[in-house]
């Protein structure tokens, strides 16, 4: 049990980290402290809400499915806002779900993941969250490149290339940069990072080998999900289904 003293320590540390993030960003001219304060406040509110209902959700499969759907909706809205794509940003849902849904289904079908909320929600959250990050980063890089190298795009059209082909040629490599974080995480697992699934199972009393095996499966599934997300983003941008809401619009850290 966490006593009152522990809660006070926890509060102090959380405030210090939040203030430090905002102060460093402000002092170095990166951005204002506002996004960090808002993110911290939202994290507190959302974790409090989840903690209040998680027991009910975990014990009912229907509610577990609804909670996973909510995760996907929030991920889509977040990615669309971060990429400045307006109503067309709903297409990012395709990139987020095209890999995460089949990956989760495969883990269930082969029996590695029990059909229980206690397993589906954390693993589903990891896959959807990874796909969201890869989608956001690759979309921003692709759209920025298309804007910055618009002259090359028009030159390709003048040479007879079809629009999707010209766009793919320009954005494929920049979009692929979104795969660097998951690749580095997979390469350095155990040496630099000990991801959440591994640590969580150890804290729950699982054998070390079992925790390591599950973490390996999750990491490789996440890698496949994020590659699928980036490849889908390239195709959606190439077909004109994802575009910025306004030409050259700025995406702020708010």
Region class of 162: left (phi > 0), else alpha (psi between -120 and 50), else beta: beta
Confidence band of 248 (pLDDT split at 50, 70, 90): very low
Span 213-229, average pLDDT: 89
> How many Å from the N-terminal Cα to the C-terminal Cα in the chain?
36
pLDDT exceeds cutoff 90 at 102 = yes
Per the CB < 8 A criterion, the answer to whether 98 and 229 are in contact is yes
Query: Which of these, 41, 100, 110, lies nearest to 68 by C-alpha position?
Result: 100
- Could you tell me what percent of the chain has a pLDDT over 70? 86
- Mean pLDDT within 187-209: 67
Chain mean pLDDT for the chain: 85
- Nearest-angstrom CA–CA distance, 37 and 18: 7
pLDDT at 164 over 80: yes
CA distance 68 to 249: 32
What average pLDDT does the segment 167-174 reach?
91
Q: CB neighbours (10 Å) of residue 77?
A: 15
């Amino acid at each position: 049990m966490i006593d009152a003293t522990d809660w006070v320590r926890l509060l102090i540390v959380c405030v210090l980290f939040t203030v430090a993030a905002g102060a460093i960003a402000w002092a170095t001219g990166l951005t204002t402290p506002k996004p960090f304060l808002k993110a911290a406040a939202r994290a507190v509110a959302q974790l409090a809400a989840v903690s209040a209902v998680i027991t009910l959700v975990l014990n009912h499969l229907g509610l577990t499915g609804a909670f996973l759907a909510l995760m996907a909706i929030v991920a889509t809205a977040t990615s669309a806002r971060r990429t400045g794509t307006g109503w067309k940003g709903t297409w990012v849902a395709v990139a987020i779900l095209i890999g995460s849904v089949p990956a989760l289904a495969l883990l269930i079908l082969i029996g590695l993941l029990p059909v229980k909320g206690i397993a589906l929600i954390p693993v589903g959250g990891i896959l959807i969250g990874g796909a969201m990050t890869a989608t956001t980063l690759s979309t921003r890089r692709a759209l920025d490149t298309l804007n910055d190298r618009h002259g090359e795009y028009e030159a390709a059209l003048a040479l007879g290339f079809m629009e999707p082909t010209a766009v793919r040629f320009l954005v494929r490599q920049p979009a692929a940069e979104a795969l660097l974080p998951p690749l580095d995480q997979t390469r350095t697992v155990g040496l630099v990072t000990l991801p959440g699934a591994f640590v969580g199972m150890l804290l729950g009393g699982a054998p070390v080998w079992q925790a390591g095996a599950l973490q390996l499966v999750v990491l490789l599934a996440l890698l496949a999900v994020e590659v699928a997300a980036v490849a889908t983003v390239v195709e959606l941008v190439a077909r004109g289904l994802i575009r910025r809401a306004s030409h050259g619009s700025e995406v702020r850290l708010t």
